Amino acid sequence: MKARVFITLKNGVLDPQGKAIGHALNGLGFGSVGEVRQGKVIDLELAGSDAEAAKADLKAMCEKLLANTVIEKYEIELK
Amino acid sequence: MKSAVIVFPAANCDRDAKVALEQMTGKTPHMVWHQDSALPDVDLVVLPGGFSYGDYLRCGAMASQSAVMKSVKAHADKGGMVLGICNGFQVLTESHLLPGALMRNAALKFVCKPVGLEVQETQSGFTRKYENGQRVTFPVAHGEGSYFADDETLDRLEGENRVAFRYAAGENPNGSARNIAGILSEKRNVLGLMPHPERVVDDVLGGTDGRNLFQSLIESLS
């Protein structure tokens, strides 16, 4: 089973990197770009075929290591 | 005072901490490898600065999962003193020994310079030899030192007098919330700070403002 985890900063947490990316895009002439927020994507391969068990595991992985829930939120996608 | 310095791969201030402790205490600290699960019998554990595990995933995240950190947590839970400097502060927040998180500097630049600080709290084993409000200069050297916590946590830290060091007015190098440079744990036996007191214990290195931090530890642990 393959899984993808999206990790992004929580709303209200300043994202200076996202801001810099936004400025750079504006500088390239993409004037339509407003606020930009950036994050991480982590692809994982998991043994087994029980989707519910995999989701529970992935949630635990995010809480324990993959995300810092003080500043980040996560979304889990199973493929 | 018996001390240990934890050595993580890609830490680069472990020897700075060792030299400072030797100079200040007259005793050589134990250098403990991150894969060792047991700590020697010590009064103080230092988590040094550096780039443990190459800052993979998040600064301090991998180090917080290393074998030795279970023993460091147990040491802290028993009331043992733990000092986390720079990357060590990041490891402490990732290990939930201190609240909040250290984020990318607001200006996105690595900052390496002496910075003015104010000692905000002297009721701790780390700061008792300073005066309240005393201005000191410690060097900083970090790219991810912007202290963040939600307002409720910040209010609690301030209400419980757990902000040990603040950047002086106009000196905040990284955008830290409420100019916070260093905080204490609830039991006041864990201190994390981004600036480097161990780099200012000898005139040869350009300052001695860090000496009182080590003197405080020696006094409170003797």
The per-residue pLDDT for B206 is 87
Element (H or E) spanning A22, and its range?
A: helix A16-27
pTM as predicted: 0.94
Share of chain B above pLDDT 70, in %: 100
- pLDDT by residue (tens digit) across A36-71? 999 999 999 999 999 999 999 999 999 999 999 999
The per-residue pLDDT for A3 is 97
Separation between Cα atoms, residue A75 and residue B18, nearest integer Å: 42
- pLDDT by residue (tens digit) across A6-42? 999 999 898 999 999 999 999 999 999 999 999 999 9
* Structure tokens that stand for B69 in this block: 């950190």
Over residues B84-99, the mean pLDDT reads: 98
Query: Is the predicted pLDDT of residue A79 greater than 90, yes or no?
Result: no
DSSP label of B221:
H
Over residues B179-194, the mean pLDDT reads: 98
Active site (catalytic) residues of B:
86, 196, 198
CATH node for A2-78: 3.30.1280.10
**Alpha-carbon torsion angle B140, B130, B179, A24, nearest 10:** -10
Domain boundaries, chain B: 3-221
Return the closest-CA partner of residue B124 out of B183, B64, B168, B73.
B183
Give the β-pairing of A2-9 and B101-103.
unpaired
Average pLDDT along chain B: 96
* Structure tokens that stand for A34 in this block: 């407003």
Query: Is the predicted pLDDT of residue B200 greater than 90, yes or no?
Result: yes
Average pLDDT along chain A: 96
Pick the residue from chain B with its C-alpha nearest to A72. B101
Residue A49, Cβ neighbours under 10 Å: how many?
8
Domain boundaries, chain A: 2-78
Q: Which residues of A are less than 8 Å from B100 in CB distance?
A: 70
- Please answer yes or no on whether A14 and B106 come within 8 Å at the CB atom: yes
- Please answer yes or no on whether A16 and B149 come within 8 Å at the CB atom: no
The per-residue pLDDT for B120 is 97
* Structure tokens that stand for B214 in this block: 């080590």
Amino acid at the residue A74: Y
Over residues B67-92, the mean pLDDT reads: 97
The architecture CATH gives domain B3-221: 3-Layer(aba) Sandwich (3.40)
Q: Which residues contact B51 (CB under 8 A, 6 or more apart)?
A: B10, B11, B12, B59, B87
Query: Is the predicted pLDDT of residue B222 greater than 90, yes or no?
Result: no
